Amino acid sequence: MRSALIRLLTAGLAAFWSLAASAQTADLVLVNGKVVTVDDRFSIAQAIAIKSERIIAVGSNADIEKRKGPATRTIDLQRRTVIPGLIDNHAHYMRAAEYWHNEVRLDGVTSHKEALSLIREKVVETKPGEWVVVLGGWAEEQFTDEPRGFTRADLDAVAPNNPVGLQLFYFRVYANSAALKAMGIDASTPDPANFKIEKDAKGEPTGALNGGAAIGFLRDKLGEVARDKAVANVRALMHDLNTMGITAFQDQGGTGVKPSHIDAFRQVHDAGQVTVRSFYNHYEEPRSAADVDALIGRMGAIKPFQGDDWFDLTGYGETLYFPLHDALLAKAANPSAEGLALWQRLGLGLARNGIHLNVHAQLRGSIEGFLTAMEAINKERPIKGLRWTFSHLDQAEPQDLERMKRLDLYAQIHSRPTIQGGLMFKVHGERTYDMPPLRLIQDSGVPWGLGSDATAVTPSNPFYTLWWAVTGKMIGGKTVLHQTISREEALIAHTRSNTPFLFQEGNLGSLAPGKYADLLVLDRDYLEVPADEIKDIKPVMTMVGGKVVYEAGGR
């Protein structure tokens, strides 16, 4: 009797709440579209109702009509496709933002001539004497007309009065005459200790500076960017990401990242101007036993999750013990036993402090060595639940994925072959076609997501990543990957599957009631266009937290 009454009351209460929810009136409805929700059933709807920052209903036009009140705004989607905002799980945008005002991006440019004309355009709008730079994100192999770098004469022709420096991955800088002068390099300059000044038959510098250290040398010459400018650059970077369809990312620090980079994002956040949700990991580069001790000593001060859903620290990454940070274009990784012991001590420190770890590992030696260390750590302090993550995994094999599942590990896979594919063949030969083993990972059951690793080693555009995952092609058209996945699998991996890295699965990743209204209205149908056109898809509108942050043509 008593329990029947409780049941009745409970049922009444549930009915009341569902009535209250259905009575919610939308501020904004999007109707008459093809809404790819990326929910658990990958269902397709027609319309969405939004109240404040969140989605309150998804369904047919008729369902959503019911959510309209006198003040509700309506956007007619005109049958366009809507997808959730794309989440980049691995990028280095905080570092990249600093020089955004004087940077030219060659993302997706397939002509050497066009690359030069883009540099010329930037030079024209820049004051004489000021730097113009391209800080990575391109490869010589992407130019289908002339697959080569840039001579000093090429660059002098488009930039007679401005220093111009192009970073090629982490191994070369191309400079014009003004840049060589600004860097204090001429025919009489001897090679610095850690990179080489390429010279022609007459002994004149060609403009090529060979070696990873040349990149730091160039960056040092660019000078400190004023705080105001740095903050404006963060807003400009976010705007550019919005135009490409990125609504959230996880930053992995990287060599050269400074507290001032993070502060610039914090300022944009505090001013309420964030248009790309910015999550980041704490980055350091311990290089010795003493560095390891010092870092373990201050690990307790690393406190994730003190921010909000716009800007927050999520954990530690992507380098644990820096000497074991492997290179994709090396033949193999052979981590030393001594290095692995230090790696393990650091990992144990993170586990003891309950900190999420994202660790860079590309080649077999690193993947196996780190897995063994993680298994040992797990015996002392269980890591299940911390969502420890491998970034890249280019040479993962089935047995690695099995070991990962036992430790509840996650994987982030990145589209670096879109520009590095050609170079990877030179080092890894035919194996390149299985790097990363995308199909194997998709079928393994290991939770995983797609990202870019922009901006130095990959372009930022998430549609290039989706295109590469589906077609296996690099920019310029060459096939570089045989292990492709379906476009549905790729979209899930670039949205919903990336939310665990941000600890945001309740808020982001699909278009469903209760989630933030982070979405893209596309210029063509991602599910129907020829696969080769996926890379050309552009948002006509980008929305973050229910607010339109980008509209094509500024309508």
Point out which residues bind Zn ion (CB under 5 A): 318, 360
Taking the least distance from each CB to Zn ion, the nearer of 368 and 394 is: 394
- Classify residue 271 by burial, with Cβ atoms within 10 Å: 0-12, 13-18, 19+: exposed
Minimal CB distance to Zn ion: which residue? 360
Judged by beta carbon, residue 363 or residue 519, the one nearer Zn ion is 363
Task: Single out the residue of 457, 296, 444 nearest to residue 362, CA to CA.
Answer: 457
Q: Which of 164, 192, 158, 195 is nearest to 177 (CA)?
A: 164
Minimum distance of Zn ion from residue 500's CB (angstroms): 18
**Cβ distance to Zn ion smaller for residue 360 or 515:** 360
Compute the distance between CA of residue 468 and CA of residue 260 in angstroms, rounded to an integer: 34
Give me the helices (H) in 413-454, please: 417-428, 438-444
Beta strand pairing call for 44-45 and 34-36: antiparallel
Nearer to Zn ion, 391 or 495 (CB): 391
- Residue with Cβ nearer Zn ion (88 or 318): 318
Q: Which is nearer to Zn ion, 312 or 318 (CB)?
A: 318
User: For Zn ion, which is the closer residue by CB, 47 or 359?
Assistant: 359
C-beta closer to Zn ion: residue 105 or 360: 360
- Shortest gap between Cβ of 143 and Zn ion (angstroms)? 25
User: DSSP letter at 172?
Assistant: E
CA pair distance 235, 363, nearest whole angstrom: 36
551 class by beta-carbon count within 10 Å (0-12 exposed, 13-18 middle, 19+ buried): middle
Distance CA 314, CA 356 (A): 7
Here the tokens at position 510 are 């699909």
* Closest distance of CB 394 from Zn ion, Å: 10
Backbone angles phi, psi at 2, to 5 degrees: -60, -45
* Nearest distance from C-beta of residue 42 to Zn ion, angstroms: 30
Q: Nearest distance from residue 250's CB to Zn ion, in Å?
A: 12
Shortest Å, Cβ 328 to Zn ion: 9
Report the relative pairing of strands 357-361 and 389-392 from DSSP bridges.
Answer: parallel
Rounded-to-integer distance, Cα 486 and Cα 469, Å: 8
91 Cβ contact list (under 8 Å, min separation 6): 249, 250, 251, 252, 451, 452, 453, 454, 455, 460
Smallest distance, Zn ion to C-beta of residue 109, A: 24
| Non-local CB neighbours of 11 within 8 Å, separated by 6+ positions | none
Residue 480 CB, shortest distance to Zn ion, in Å, is: 19
Terminal Cα-to-Cα distance of the chain (whole angstroms): 63
The amino acid that residue 214 corresponds to is A
Nearer to Zn ion, 309 or 318 (CB): 318
Work out how close the CB of 140 gets to Zn ion at its nearest, in angstroms, rounded to a whole number: 22
- Whether residue 385 contacts residue 406, with contact meaning beta carbons closer than 8 Å, is answered with no
Output 360 or 487, the one with its CB closest to Zn ion.
360
Complex with Zn ion: residue 360 or 496, whichever CB lies closer: 360
Instruction: Name the one residue in this structure whose structure tokens are 């060659």.
Output: 106
Residue position matching structure tokens 């920019």: 475
Residue holding tokens 């401005």?
Answer: 162
Please list the residues that pair with 361 across neighbouring strands: 392
Distance in Å, CB of 532 to Zn ion, minimum = 28
In the bound complex, what is the minimum distance in angstroms from residue 215's beta carbon to Zn ion?
15
- The CA-based dihedral angle spanning residues 171, 177, 179, 183, taken in that order and rounded to the nearest 10 degrees: 90
Nearest alpha-carbon partner for 539 in 232, 278, 236, 247: 247
**Closest CB 457 distance from Zn ion, rounded Å:** 8
Report the nearest approach of Zn ion to the CB of residue 96 (Å). 14
- Of the two residues 319 and 507, which places its CB atom closer to Zn ion in the complex? 319
Residue in the structure block whose two tokens are 């060979």:
210
Q: How far apart are CA 28 and CA 26, in angstroms?
A: 5
Which tokens in the block code for residue 291? 């560095």
Q: Could you tell me where the beta strands, DSSP code E, fall in 22-171?
A: 28-31, 34-36, 44-45, 47-51, 54-59, 73-76, 81-84, 86-91, 132-135, 164-168
Closest to Zn ion by CB, 207 or 437: 437
